[in-house]
Each structure stands twice: as C-alpha cells, then as structure tokens.
Amino acid sequence: MTLRIEYNPAFLHFSEFHRIDGECFPDEPIDEETFQTIVANDFWAAWDSMSLLGYCYIARKPDLAWLSRIAVSKRYRRNGIATRLMLDVLAHCSRIGLPETMLYVKDDNATAIQLYYRFGFRPIESTFQYILSIPTFTAKAPSEGRENVRAVPITEIDATKLPTFPREWADIRSMHKPPDQYVLVFRDMQNGELGY
C-alpha cells in the first residue's frame, strides 16, 4: 500500500466518499450538498493509488478547530491511516494559528479514544445526543393551564436571551439551517431561563 494524503482533493466524487462515510457513520450519513461544502474547506482524503481509504475534516471556529469526522474503511484500519490523517490535520491547525483542536467521540469507541490519547487529547465534558424520527412524532395536546409549544427560528431569538453554548457551538445562530436542521431551545417557565 502506498498511502497518499491529499488536502482539498479536487477529484473526489461523492459516491467514493459516501461508500466510506456510510460504512463508518451509518446512523449519520452526510448528504451530497453537505459533502460539497466540507470537501471545499479543510478536508483531507487518504488514498492508495486511486482508491479512497479514509478521510477527515475540521470546522474552523474563532479560537479552535473542531475535528468533525475522521473515517477509515474497515478493510484498511490498523495501517496507520488515521494516524497520518491526524498528523496532517494537527500540523495544518498549527500553521493556520488555531490554538486548540477538539472533537467528540462515543465512549464505547475504544480504538478511536486510544488514537486521540496518543495525540494528547483528554476528555473535558460529556454530552448526549437525542434522535427523534420526525415522521413518527405526533404532537400531544397541551395540558390545561400550560402554554402551547411554539417553534421560533433561532435567528429570531434575542442573542442576549440564548443559553451559553459550548465553544464549538458559539456561532449556533449562523449554523442553523432550516428546514434541514433544528435547534431546540426550551424556556423554563418558572424562572424564564433558556436551555437546550
């Protein structure tokens, strides 16, 4: 195997990307429109000749890089591909002046956690992800005496009234892309505070 890492690959087709993305992230596949956006920014592809073996990309935040995804085809794991991708990503972040890099990883992904520890990453917080299948969701009538639930675009909420989000979500208002993405912000009616 002759491993080659390419930054912002010009000739990567969605079908090649989708093959590995679907294998590594079957519950959270990236669509073609999102692929076009991420591949044009800070994106790395790992190749053996003309075969795509893996990829990774970051999202730039004001004071950090968010390693959004790193994926290697199951067939090619344990060949140093993820290590090479990490080396290139972290060197790039240093060159462009981003002082920190952060990521999320599932706590049962021991292999990835071991890789991240080798590069000096340490856990700083836990988070939870909730998934709701919208087609099966049925609205329940509000209980008597309770205010109805209202959906309001986050861009219409006064920024001073938003909760404090983690640093990687600090620009949540610009990240919100209805109708494909939604941010749920809940108001505690007793003290008026917002949470998410």
Residue 74 is encoded by which pair of tokens? 């199951």
* Residue 80 confidence (pLDDT) above 90: yes
| Segments forming the whole domain that contains residue 154 | 130-196
In this structure, the answer to whether residues 88 and 142 fall within a common structural domain is no
Distance CA 168, CA 178 (A): 19
| Average of per-residue pLDDT values in the chain | 82
Backbone angles phi, psi at 65, to 5 degrees: -105, 135
Question: Could you tell me how many residues make up the chain?
Answer: 196
Residue 27 is encoded by which pair of tokens? 């519950």
pLDDT band at 99 (very low <50, low <70, confident <90, very high): confident
Distance CA 59, CA 66 (A): 5
Higher pLDDT, 164 or 74: 74
Query: Which pairs from 30-39 meet CB under 8 Å and 24+ separation?
Result: 30/69, 38/68, 39/8, 39/9, 39/12
Determine which helix (DSSP H) or strand (DSSP E) holds 4, and give its type and residue range. strand 3-7
pLDDT band at 10 (very low <50, low <70, confident <90, very high): confident
Highest mean predicted confidence (pLDDT) among 53-57, 128-132, 173-177: 53-57
Distance CA 154, CA 68 (A): 22
Q: Global pTM? A: 0.71
pLDDT band at 155 (very low <50, low <70, confident <90, very high): confident
Beta strands 65-72 and 101-103, pairing class:
parallel
Residue 173 is encoded by which pair of tokens? 């208002």
pLDDT for the residue 145: 52
pLDDT band at 114 (very low <50, low <70, confident <90, very high): very high
pLDDT band at 160 (very low <50, low <70, confident <90, very high): confident
In 3D space, the residue among 42, 57, 56, 60 whose CA is nearest the CA of residue 98 turns out to be 60
The answer as to whether 188 is a domain residue is yes
In this structure, the answer to whether residues 147 and 172 fall within a common structural domain is yes
> How does pLDDT run across 16-47, given as a tens digit for each residue?
999 999 999 998 899 999 999 999 999 999 99
Higher pLDDT, 35 or 139: 35
CB-CB neighbours of 182 under 10 Å: 14
pLDDT for the residue 196: 45
The answer as to whether 124 is a domain residue is no
In this structure, the answer to whether residues 174 and 140 fall within a common structural domain is yes
Distance CA 114, CA 119 (A): 9
pLDDT for the residue 167: 66
State the CATH number of the domain containing residue 32: 3.40.630.30
The answer as to whether 123 is a domain residue is no
Q: How many domains does the chain have?
A: 2
In this structure, the answer to whether residues 82 and 142 fall within a common structural domain is no
Residue 139 is encoded by which pair of tokens? 């609205």
Tell me the β-bridge partners of 58.
67
Instruction: Report the pLDDT averaged over residues 120-128.
Output: 83
> How does pLDDT run across 142-153, given as a tens digit for each residue?
555 555 556 666
In this structure, the answer to whether residues 142 and 169 fall within a common structural domain is yes
